[in-house]
Structures are given as structure tokens and as C-alpha cells.
Amino acid sequence: MDNGESSTNNSSRPWESYNTVFTNAKAGMEGVDKEKVQRIVYELSKGSKYFQNEERKETLMKQKIEHMHDRSAKLSSSDLSNYQKVVDRRILELEATRDLSRIWLHVDMDAFYAAVETLSNPSLGGKPMAVGGLSMISTANYEARKFGVRAAMPGFIARKLCPDLIFVPVDFTKYTHYSELARKVFRNYDPQFIAGSLDEAYLDITEVCRERGLSGGEIAEELRSSVYSETGLTCSAGVAANRLLAKVCSDINKPNGQFILQNDRSTVMTFISSLPIRKIGGIGKVTEHILKDALGIKTCEDMVQKGSLLYALFSQSSADFFLSVGLGLGETDTPQARSRKSISCERTFSATEDEKLLYSKLAEIAEMLSDDMKKEGLIARTLTLKLKTATFEIRSRAVSLKRYTCSSEDILKHATKLLKAELPVSVRLIGLRMSQFSDEIRHSDPSQETITKFIVQKDFSRQNLDDNKIDASKNCLSNDESMSLSFDTHETSYDQLKDVLENEEQSQLDANKVPPNQECTRKEERPQVLEGDALLIKHKEYKPDTSHSMNDNSSAQNSEPVTLFLPIEPLFWIDGYKCNLCGIELPPSFVEERQEHSDFHLAQRLQNEESGSSSSTTPTSKRRILGKEKANSKPKKQKQSEKDDATCHLVLYYPHTISFQERTPEEMKMALNLIPPKLNLSPSNSLGEPKSLPSMSDILTSSRARNLDLKIQTLGPFFRVTGKNADTGGEIGRAEGVVRPWFGQGLVLHLDTIRLTKETMKMDKSVLGVGLYVGAVAIRHGYDCGCRTAQLLAIYDSDLYHSKLVRFYRRIGFEEVKEVSGSLIGDMADMLVWGGVGTRMDANIHHLLLKWSKVFLKSNV
């Protein structure tokens, strides 16, 4: 913004147009003569190669802003109102994920490196000091910050700002030591805390607060004083309902302070409303300027206000992020420890064109990188060369190798080729990075993300079928070209992995100084990543029934890690119309059907992973989708489930891997009630809701009387209802599904799973009880979401259960619509969605609720 506005008068004060990050409001920067700092930075920088490059980048940024501004100006009001509908819908969905039940604490050590240096050399106390050198400063203490000296500032500029500045070289060994001391304290409050870096961490203190009956603020006080007594270092803390907010909060009363944001929606909204967007992690200098200058978005509140612009001009994921920021939402769960995705090494030197010199620098870096990889026990197959030219332009060149490697010879060989192609060039930095590690399981994380995105976005795009601006195809797994490409890759990478693992043992016998434990290191690595596989972990979590049985994938030091994880087979259309997984033929014009179809395969795969029998994926799905062999084809999985789980899977075809947010029915209802009237798309509601219909809380109250503990969780259009025994906490039933548009019927409540434990199935009374209640919550949820119809498929897997199921659903109020046998063309839609044959049963939601109202309202009295 500075540049935009000051461009009018920068002839008199040219430094004002030099857009540096060094004058951003930052802790310890209050009372700094910003203009002086800006002037000095400018004086020392102007005309330099660095400066010129900054100007170049700034020009590009302004073009970007201009372009975005133009695009926003060209949007018609009908465009905007369409996007507003998208925004309204997303607000609804995002709001439903709000979780105010967790308490997150973000700790941030104050001027960490500098404070550690002062600790080991107390004579530095009270004097302006910076950790780093004349070329770059890592951290400055608060005395130095008074002069405008700060992290990421070159030392020679800092010295100009503060001639008495003391420079202390960085010493990571020291910082790591103190970091570990602090982390020991963190562990007492959250053993699973998330380390952001050496000097900061996120702690989920929900449990500590509850157990000890203390507030977040009290815990923060105690933690900070404990950190101080253990390390002699001060830190600041922020406490809030999610990590994003906690991080913002920890910065507010820095240094040696804390800020607590109450877990209350209106408090959060007030807090967020005036918050400058730059305070949000992930929004940096460029994004700030783009949003501000092109769209006039300054505060987080503006993100919601101008949501339609955001969805019109940015990718959906970006717009979603911005919108959720505007709503004060952030991560509330503890993610699985993530494994690194790349390793790199780079060095700056005085710029040179000398090829011999450059090659020798390259060799040094290759050597260092290789050493680091060996230390970490990593092998990778993508090599990226990074060059910073004498003019500060960054170039990167990458190759993917046929084999995984960590050897300096391999790295150097390929890096040299890459460098050679760039010569002649004057270079001031060379870097090498290796990525695409051989950790096979790594694939499941991104794919899981893709699935979630895919499904959510598919739904999103359906709301805009007439709107070409939203490109649904790029999110669609049936995107032939790209998918077949990555299919190949997965195949080869699997083979290569085997090769590598076999060859690795050989190569270790080869003189190489690889420590003998390296193989071990890598093997240890793999189960670790395994634990990080949300697929497996989450299933356990969601399926208490299975915890006693099956192979415990996550704990074992498995002797055959490779065979456990077959590569994921992405779906693509052979010759443009034939599914590579099951052979079903669907012309490209069947866009929606194709989406459903890939949907099914993904769900199927996840389901198989859950059961641990991934090998049955294809045959099972094939048989099902082709409608052959019916009962005889009974998948192994189903038998396992019945035997091991002691559950009866009625319909089980939806991914369980989505991270749902826990909400009680009341919270759910609250969330829905928070939506402004114009956002309420429910046709039922617009007609006025008859008093006689049981409300969510009616159902809940009634269920409590029957010793049932009901919960509904949602993620966007998806939902999950669980019913537990209020005494034992054991799950006795659940329903899962999605609110989705159905061919020509508007929104329907699509029940993908209703599962009751076997115990429940045996006792007819309980079946009706649990099933009715679980169903009622789901149905009421559908009603609240504007669905008129609920539909399900009682899958024909066994005669015994099938007839029982149909009877059960009939008693609940569903009606048999038709038998989906797979023999009729008309069955296709159902088979594509459910991936099986059975009895399609529908119910009118309004009628259901009316019919049930007696039950729930009566037991209320």
C-alpha cells in the first residue's frame, strides 16, 4: 500500500517507495523512527543489484494487482450475485465446522537466539545485540530493535541503524539445547505438542485445563513461568480456540506476555473483525498488497464482506482459506506428525561466471546434501537445482531420476547436467534439493486431501452448473491425461522402491561409509510415517469395535513394509470411456456419473484400507459394479467385518477419512441458526415449520431419557451421527452420509451408512430404538439443510440381513422404491452412487418427521 499511495510524492522522499518489510509493525518496534529506518535502508540499498531486483519484483506485483483489479471491475452484478451464493453456501459449511471446544496455546520464545546468547554471555545484557553477521541477521534483541534492527535485515544496514550493535555469530547447538529444555516443559501440558520451529510451539491444553480446573490463561501463566525457571528465557503465549487465532494472540503482548481470546463466537468475531490481514499466518507482504490494493481488503472482516470477489478471483482453496480466516476459523485438531518432504542445501558466495568454480561449489553442495540425507536416512528421486543469478533472479531446474538415491555421485552427476544447461551465467548462490522420498505411504496423505477436495468441490461445482468460470473438471479424477500420467508414476515408483530396497542392501556392502544402522533408520522411519497415516489412525478412532482385532498396522516394526502398501490406483478412463479399475464404460459426456463413479472407487479403496485387505479392492468393486455374482461374490471384507467387528455393515461406501468436527445436536442447530435468513435455502423452512415436527433438541432430550448419547458431526455437506450407550460410552449405532443434489430432485439426504452393532441387531426393540434415534438425528439434519427426501440403499449382501434391513427401514418409515439389480439401464445412477445392488428406499423427510413426532414429543413430556 505504501508504494501505491506514496508514488505521488516519492520524488521528494524516494525512500518511501522502497517497500521493505523492515518497517512492519513488529514486537519491540514501537517508538521506532520508521521514516529514518526506511531512509537508511533505502540509502544503503538503492542502485544495488538486490535493489534492482526488488524493483523488478515490485513491478511484477503491481501488474498482478492491476490485473486483478481489472478482473474485479469486469465482474457483472450477476456474476457477483452468483459468487455471493457460493460464499453464502460456504459460510454455512464453514460455520458448521466451527469448534469452540478446544483450547490451543501458542508459545513463542522472546528473541530466542539473542536471549540464549545473552544467557551464555550475560555481559551482553542491556546492550543492542544481533545474532548473525554483516550479511544477515537472524534475530536482534529488544535493545537493538529500538533502533529498527530486526530479523532478516542485512547486518551492514543494521550497523548503520545502530553503530554500537554487537554481532554474535549463530550457534544452533546452543539454541537446540535450550529449545529442548523448553520443549520438556511443553510436554507436561501436551505430550503431542506441535513444534513450529526451535522457538515456538502449539499446545492443545484442553485436557490440562479440564483436569486441573484451570483457565487457559492460568495454564499459560504457569507454563511461561515454568519455561522461565527451566531455561532462564522468557516467552509469550496466546490462548484461543484454534491454532490460527492462538498464533495471532501470542504476538499481542510480546515480549514476556500473553493474550487470551475467549472461546466464544461473538468474542472471536469481534476480535477478527478489526484484525489486519497481515497478522494472519500465511498472509505475507504480497498477499496483503494484492488483497488491499486490488480488492480493498484490509481486515479479516473484509474477507467475508468481499467474499464474492475472493471466490471470483482466486482459486477455491485460496478463497476458502480467506473466508475461513474472516470467520475466525482455524485448525483445532492435532495432526499426525508430518514427515519432511524435501531436504536441501544452498550456499551464497560472491557471484561468479567461472565454470570451474561453479562446478566445484556444486560438488561441495552435493556432498553436503548427500551427507545430510545419509544422516536422516533418506533416499529421493527428484533433484532440483537452484540458482540465484548475480542479478538476484531465482532459477530452478529439476529432474526426476529413475532410482532413489542419496549418493553424492548421483546427485552431482545430475546436478552438473542441470547446471551445464544454464551456462554461461553469473551466479551468487547454488542450491540443491532432493524430494520425492521413497516413503511409499507418503502417497496416501495427498491423495486423501484430494479426495476431500474432490468431493467437496464436486458438490460446490454442482451449485454452479451453469457457471463456466468455476472449473470443475480440474478437480475431477476423470481428467484423463493427468491421471493416467500419475498412474504411471505410482506404478513405477512402487517398482523402483522395491528395486531400491533390494539394491540398497547391496550398496551398503559396497565400501560406502553408510553407517550400518542406516537400513534400520529407514525402517524405523517407515512405521513412523505409517503412524502418520491418517487413514489408519482415524479408522481406529472411529471404529472402537475393531480395536481389539486385526493386525495393528501402526505399531509394528513390520518386516515387510513394502507389501503392506500397494500403490494407490488412480482412476482414469481408458480410451476416454472405460474405467481402468472395473471396466465399466461411461462416455465423457456423463460428467456427473463419472464423478460418482470415481467417488465410489475412492470410497471402496478407503474402505479396503480400513479393513486392511487392500488386495480385494478391485475384484470386489468389479463384482459389485457389474452386478454379478451377488450374494456369492460376498467380499471377504464383509465376512471379516461381521466376524471381527461384531457389527453389521448395512451400507458402507463412504470414506471415513474426512476429519469431522464434533458437534452436539444443539451446537449444530445453533450453527445453523446463525445463518442469516437469506442464506437459509431450506424450502421446508421457508414454508414455515409446523410446531408438531420434532426439533433436534426434542430428539436429543428424548434420546437421553433412553440412555442414548447422540452426536452429529459435520464436514461441509457430510455428516455422521453416532449413538452411544450413555453409561458405557460404547457405540451402538451410527449413520453417515451427505446432503447432495439428486437428479432433478434438489437436495436429498443421502444415507451412505447406517450401522448398528450386532448386539443391537439381535434385539428388535433396540434396533428400533437406536436406529430410530440415529436416523432421526440424520433426518432432522437433512430437514435443517433443506432436503425434502432421504434415500438409502439396503445392500443385498446376505439374505438374512437384507430382509431384516428392509423390514427395519420400512418400520422406520422408508419405502421401497425399487430393486437395484444391475440389469436395468435405470439402475445405473443408483449403482454408480452406491456401488452395489440392493433395495433403494426413499422417504419423504417431512412425513418421516411428522410420523416420528409422536414418539419424540410424547417421551418429552
Partner DNA sequence: ATACATACC
Partner DNA sequence: TACTGGTATGTAT
Task: Compare residues 285 and 851 and give the one whose CB is closer to DNA.
Answer: 285
Q: Kindly report the CA angle at 466 between 462 and 467, in degrees rounded to 5?
A: 90
Among 7, 63, 192, 197, binds DNA (CB under 7 A): 197
Q: How many other CB atoms sit within 10 Å of the CB of residue 724?
A: 19
DSSP string, 267-333: HHHHHHHT-BGGGSTT--HHHHHIIIIIH---BHHHHHHTHHHHHHHS-HHHHHHHHHHHTT----S
199 binds DNA (CB under 7 A): yes
The piece of 197-205, 560-568, 684-692, 743-751 that touches DNA (CB under 7 A) is: 197-205
425 binds DNA (CB under 7 A): no
The count of residues in the chain is 861
Query: What residues have CB less than 8 Å from 695, skipping those under 6 apart?
Result: 669, 780
426 SS3 class: coil
Sites for DNA among residues 359-388 (CB under 7 A): 372, 382, 384, 388
59 binds DNA (CB under 7 A): no
Task: Compare residues 311 and 783 and give the one whose CB is closer to DNA.
Answer: 311
563 binds DNA (CB under 7 A): no
Among 3, 305, 489, 616, binds DNA (CB under 7 A): 489
Active-site pick, 95, 200, 504, 667: 200
* Least distance in angstroms from the C-beta of 95 to DNA: 21
* Least distance in angstroms from the C-beta of 782 to DNA: 31
Task: Compare residues 321 and 801 and give the one whose CB is closer to DNA.
Answer: 321
Task: Compare residues 80 and 351 and give the one whose CB is closer to DNA.
Answer: 351
The piece of 338-346, 526-534, 777-785, 832-840 that touches DNA (CB under 7 A) is: 338-346
Grid cell at residue 816: 421401497
The piece of 78-86, 279-287, 715-723, 737-745 that touches DNA (CB under 7 A) is: 279-287
Chain centroid to CA 58: how far? 31
Question: Rg of the chain's alpha carbons, rounded to an integer?
Answer: 30
Q: Kindly report the CA angle at 794 between 815 and 463, in degrees rounded to 5?
A: 80
299 binds DNA (CB under 7 A): no
Sites for DNA among residues 819-848 (CB under 7 A): none
57 binds DNA (CB under 7 A): yes
The piece of 262-270, 353-361, 482-490, 594-602 that touches DNA (CB under 7 A) is: 482-490
**CA–CA dist 690, 439 (Å, integer):** 57
* DSSP 8-state class, residue 585: B
Pairing of strands 838-844, 815-820: antiparallel
Q: Please return the burial class of 398, using the count of CB atoms within 10 Å of its CB with bins 0-12, 13-18 and 19+.
A: middle
281 binds DNA (CB under 7 A): yes
Residue 317 half-sphere exposure toward CB, CA atoms < 13 A: 7
Phi and psi dihedrals of 280, rounded to 5? -80, 130
Under a CB-based contact definition with an 8 Å cutoff, are residues 429 and 388 in contact?
Answer: yes
Grid cell at residue 215: 483457565
24 binds DNA (CB under 7 A): no
Q: Residue 551 belongs to what H/E stretch?
A: none
**CA–CA dist 150, 147 (Å, integer):** 9
For residue 738, give the nearest of 725, 752, 724 by alpha carbon. Answer: 752
For residue 719, give the nearest of 671, 751, 688 by alpha carbon. Answer: 751
User: For 69-212, where are the E strands, in sequence order?
Assistant: 104-109, 129-132, 137-140, 166-168, 194-197, 200-204
The piece of 396-404, 508-516, 545-553, 628-636 that touches DNA (CB under 7 A) is: 396-404
* Least distance in angstroms from the C-beta of 714 to DNA: 22
* Least distance in angstroms from the C-beta of 62 to DNA: 10
Among 100, 181, 286, 363, binds DNA (CB under 7 A): 286
172 binds DNA (CB under 7 A): no
Q: 117 an active-site residue?
A: no
Task: Compare residues 210 and 395 and give the one whose CB is closer to DNA.
Answer: 395
Q: Please return the burial class of 327, using the count of CB atoms within 10 Å of its CB with bins 0-12, 13-18 and 19+.
A: buried
Task: Compare residues 274 and 348 and give the one whose CB is closer to DNA.
Answer: 348
Site string for DNA, 303-322 (x = CB under 7 A): -----------xx-xx----
Task: Compare residues 265 and 278 and give the one whose CB is closer to DNA.
Answer: 278
Among 128, 148, 154, 813, binds DNA (CB under 7 A): 154
Q: Residue 604 belongs to what H/E stretch?
A: helix 591-611
The piece of 210-218, 339-347, 790-798, 839-847 that touches DNA (CB under 7 A) is: 339-347
Query: What residues have CB less than 8 Å from 404, skipping those under 6 apart?
Result: 379, 380, 381, 437, 438, 496, 497, 500
341 binds DNA (CB under 7 A): yes
**CA–CA dist 238, 215 (Å, integer):** 13
Task: Compare residues 71 and 548 and give the one whose CB is closer to DNA.
Answer: 71
**CA–CA dist 658, 671 (Å, integer):** 20
338 binds DNA (CB under 7 A): yes
Letter for the amino acid at 461? S
Sites for DNA among residues 689-748 (CB under 7 A): none
283 binds DNA (CB under 7 A): yes
The piece of 78-86, 120-128, 149-157, 323-331 that touches DNA (CB under 7 A) is: 149-157
76 binds DNA (CB under 7 A): no
The piece of 38-46, 93-101, 208-216, 684-692 that touches DNA (CB under 7 A) is: 38-46
* Least distance in angstroms from the C-beta of 297 to DNA: 13
287 binds DNA (CB under 7 A): yes
Task: Compare residues 417 and 807 and give the one whose CB is closer to DNA.
Answer: 417
348 binds DNA (CB under 7 A): yes
396 binds DNA (CB under 7 A): yes
**CA–CA dist 266, 844 (Å, integer):** 37
200 binds DNA (CB under 7 A): yes
DSSP string, 330-379: ---S-PPPPPP-EEEEEEEEEEE--HHHHHHHHHHHHHHHHHHHHHHT--
Signed CA dihedral, 166, 169, 173, 176: sign only: positive
Size of the site for DNA (CB under 7 A): 70
196 binds DNA (CB under 7 A): yes
Signed CA dihedral, 144, 149, 153, 155: sign only: negative
The piece of 7-15, 196-204, 548-556, 589-597 that touches DNA (CB under 7 A) is: 196-204
288 binds DNA (CB under 7 A): yes
* Least distance in angstroms from the C-beta of 248 to DNA: 10
Among 1, 9, 50, 125, binds DNA (CB under 7 A): 50
61 binds DNA (CB under 7 A): yes
Binding site for DNA (CB under 7 A): 41, 44-45, 47-51, 57, 60-61, 64, 134-136, 138, 151-152, 154, 156-157, 196-200, 280-288, 314-315, 317-318, 338-348, 350, 372, 382, 384, 388, 394-400, 428-429, 431, 433, 436, 485-486, 489
As annotated, the active-site residues are 200
